[in-house]
Structure formats: C-alpha cells, structure tokens
Amino acid sequence: MNITETDKSNYLKGFLILIENTGAINESNKNLITKVANILEYNHYFVEYSINELSENKNQVPDLPKFSSHSFAEIFIRDSMRLTFNNNILNLDAIRWLLKVIQINNLSKQWFYLELENFLDNYNSDMNSYFEIQKHVKKIYN
C-alpha cells in the first residue's frame, strides 16, 4: 500500500483531533502521539507545538480526516481505537467521532462494529506494542 504525504498528515491530524475532542490531552496520550509522529517521521518540535496548539484552538472545528484509500482509513480507525482506549476507559465521544470518520471515508458501520468488537476482545493495555501504521511506514511516498 502506498501512503501519501497527505494521508500521513491526515493521520497525525486525526490523532490530534481525537484527543482534543475527547478531552484526553494527558501525558499518556501525548506520549502515544509522539510515538506515532516518530513512526511517521515528524519532527519532535513540530509535534510538541501541535499538541500545545490544541488547547489554544478549542473554538475551531477541524475537518474530519479523509484518506485516499479505504485500507488506509481502516488502519487509522484501528490505531485510533488503540489511542481511544489508552486509559482503559470507553469514551463515547471518541466512538461517535470515529463513526463520523468512517462515514466520510465510506466505510461501513458494520465493519466498524466488528473491528470494535475484535479490538475489545483482544485488547492489550501494553502501550509499547505496535500501532498498525508501523507495518506500513516504510511505504510512504510523496
């Protein structure tokens, strides 16, 4: 799968929006976003700046992330579930937001519910385990 720079950018932006919308801007989530940003080869200072900007731009309603392929949107959703459950709390605001993301990316709700069920059945709270994006990171193209 080819991952475009736009998809890479939307992936990180989507993670930032997700934690901001759910009010889950804590150290644990900041660390996860930094980990993902490193995987995507973003500069550490850029990521810190972006996280700090979240609290300053609360009145802006950002666009939902739209990806170039269903398969990349699916990767984003799966990894977002991992971020959402980082603190072992089911956040309904995050689930609602992810449902909007699947809609804009033309994924089915049925697929989402099956993925959510699979995620919950196999949930591993070890945040050192991988994000799915790691499997694809060497395939980023301009």
Query: Which region holds residue 88: left if phi is over 0, alpha if psi is between -120 and 50, else beta?
Result: left
Spell 71-100 as b/e; 16+ CB within 10 A means b.
ebbbbbbbbbbbbbbbeeeebeebeebbee
Which residues make Cβ contacts (< 8 Å) with residue 38, sequence separation at least 6? 44
Domain that includes residue 135, residue range = 3-141
Q: Structure pTM?
A: 0.85
Determine the Cα–Cα distance for residues 4 and 19; give it in Å rounded to an integer: 23
Q: What is the pLDDT of residue 27?
A: 80
Q: What is the pLDDT of residue 47?
A: 84
Q: What is the pLDDT of residue 3?
A: 80
Q: What is the pLDDT of residue 24?
A: 65
Contact 65/14 with Cβ under 8 angstroms? Answer: yes
Strand partners, 3: 140
Give me the number of domains the chain comprises.
1
| Regions in the chain scoring below 50 on pLDDT | 139-142
Where does 58-133 have alpha helices with state H? 70-84, 92-104, 109-121
Q: What is the pLDDT of residue 142?
A: 42
